[in-house]
A and B are shown apart, each in its own frame.
Chain A
Amino acid sequence: MRDFVYYHPASLDEARQLAMQQGAMLLAGGQTLLRDMKLGRHSPTSLIDVTGIVPKQIEFLDGAVWIGAGATHAEVAHSPVLQQHLPVLAALVDHIGDPAVRNRGTLGGALAANERDGDYPAACLALGATVHTTGRKVAAAEFFVGEGRTVLEPGEIITAATFPISTRAAYVKFLNPAARYAMVGVFAACTADGTPHIAVTGARTQGAFRWQEAEMALSAGFVAERLRGIRLLLENLVEDLFADAPYRAHLAEVFARKAVALASGPAPGVMVLSHGSRAGTLFELT
C-alpha cells in the first residue's frame, strides 16, 4: 500500500476542506477502504478520518428512524430504537460481515463504499431511505450509481440516513461459501402507502438495484405467488466461480418470493441461507 498523510480533523468543516484536496479520501471504520487500498483499488494521497465528528446517535423522528453516519454496525444492530421501530434493519445489520467488522464498520462508510454485494444499499433502496450529507439530502434511489460509486462530490460527507417505517419488510440472502458476503440478497418491503419495493444485491455487476419487473408484478397485491416466473435478464449479472448468471437469476427469483412471503407472514425478519442449509436459518423478530 502506498503511504499517505493521515488527518483526523476536529470538525466537519475542517474535514470538508481537507477532503476537497486532490487525492484525498474520507475514512470511517475503514473495513472496506483499507482492504481495498491493500488490494490496490485505491491509492489516496491523504485520508481524512471522520470518526468522532460525524453523528452516531439513533433516533425515531417524524415517523422515520434517523441513524447517524458514524453508528457502527454493532450499535445499529443492538439499538433499542431500531428493535422497536424497524427490527428488520437491525437484523440485517447484525449479519453484515462478522462481529469484529461490525464493531468497526459504520453506516456512512458502508453507504459511501456501495459494495456490489452490500446489505445496506439493498435495505436503503427497499425501505426508501434518504441519505443526508453535509450539503443535501438524496433519495437512496438516486444516491447509488454503480458498484463502488455514489453521487457524493469531493468534500461531501455523509452525516446520516433516515429510514421510513415499513411494517411489512424482510430480507433473504445466500452467503458466499468462502467470504460469507451476500452472493444474492433480496429485500422486500411494502411501504406505508402500499407500494411494493424489491431491492436486489450481489446479483448485478453495478451493485444493488430496485427490481422494477418484480415490483410491477406485485403492484396488484403484495403476494409472493405473483412473482412466479419473473426472472432477471442474464446480461449484467455477476458471474464467478461460485455462481453463474442463470444460477444468480434463479436465486433472485426464489428469494424475492421468500422475502415477500416472509414480510407478509407473522414474523417478518431476515433469513440467511448457505450451502447445506435446509429450511435456512430464520432469525425471528419479536
Chain B
Amino acid sequence: MPAVSMTVNGRPVSGEVEGRTMLVDFLREQLGLTGTHVGCDTTQCGACLVHVNGLAMKSCTMLALQCEGAVVTTIEGLAPPGTPLHPMQAAFREHHALQCGYCTSGMVMMALDIVRRCREPDEATIREQLKGNICRCTGYHNIVKAIAAGAAAMAAQHR
C-alpha cells in the first residue's frame, strides 16, 4: 500500500493507506484522533471539518494521499491535554453551544476559519458562513452566540 506522511497537530506522522482512504479515516482509524466525526460523508454536514495548511476543509472529501506533506490540525490540536481550552472551545462550553455534540468539533474548526477571515463577524455573517455545517439538533442559536463570543475573546487576546 502507498505510504503517506504529514504533520498532524504539530506531530510528524506517517502510515500506509489505500488510494481510497479519506483523510478522516486516516485521522480516526490510524491515528486514533476520533474527535473528527463523519456525519453525511458527502461534503454537506461539516462534522469532519479540519484545517489543512491553515484552511478549513472537509476531511471526508479528501484523500489521505492528497495530504502528503500537509500540516493538519484537528480539534485535538487546539488545546493539548492538561492545558486550558482554546478560547473558542471555552466559548462553546460557556454558551452551551452543543446538544448531542456530534457536530461540535466541526463547528469549532469552522468557527476558527470564520475568525481567520472575518475577525469579529456579526450574527448574519456567522449564520451565512455556517452554511456547510449542519447541527442535527438544530442548536444553531447558541452556536452562533458562542462563535461571536469566541471571536471577541480571541480578538481581546491579541490586543
Contact = CB atoms under 8 A, between A and B. Distances in A.
Given A31-B43, A98-B46, A99-B114, A104 B58 contact: yes
B58 A101 contact: yes
A39 interface: yes
B19 A99 contact: no
Given A1-B20, A3-B18, A38-B41, A98 B131 contact: yes
Nearest to B17: A6
Contacts, number: 77
Q: Is chain B's binding surface mostly helix, strand, loop or mixed?
A: mixed
B49 A39 contact: no
A35 interface: yes
Interface residues of B, number: 29
Contact of A100 (B42, B65, B132): B132
B2 interface: yes
Given A49-B66, A98-B132, A180-B131, A103 B55 contact: yes
Interface in B39-59: 41-44, 46, 49, 55-58
Nearest to B41: A38
Q: Which of A2, A34, A47, A74 counts the most chain B CB atoms within 10 A?
A: A34
A101 B43 contact: yes
A8 B65 contact: yes
A99 B42 CA distance: 15
Interface of A: 1-6, 8, 27, 30-31, 34-35, 37-39, 47, 49, 51, 74, 97-101, 103-104, 179-180
Interface of B: 2, 18-20, 22, 41-44, 46, 49, 55-58, 61-63, 65-66, 68, 110, 113-114, 117, 129, 131-133
Given A30-B66, A34-B62, A98-B133, 5 more contacts: A6-B63, A31-B43, A34-B43, A34-B63, A100-B49
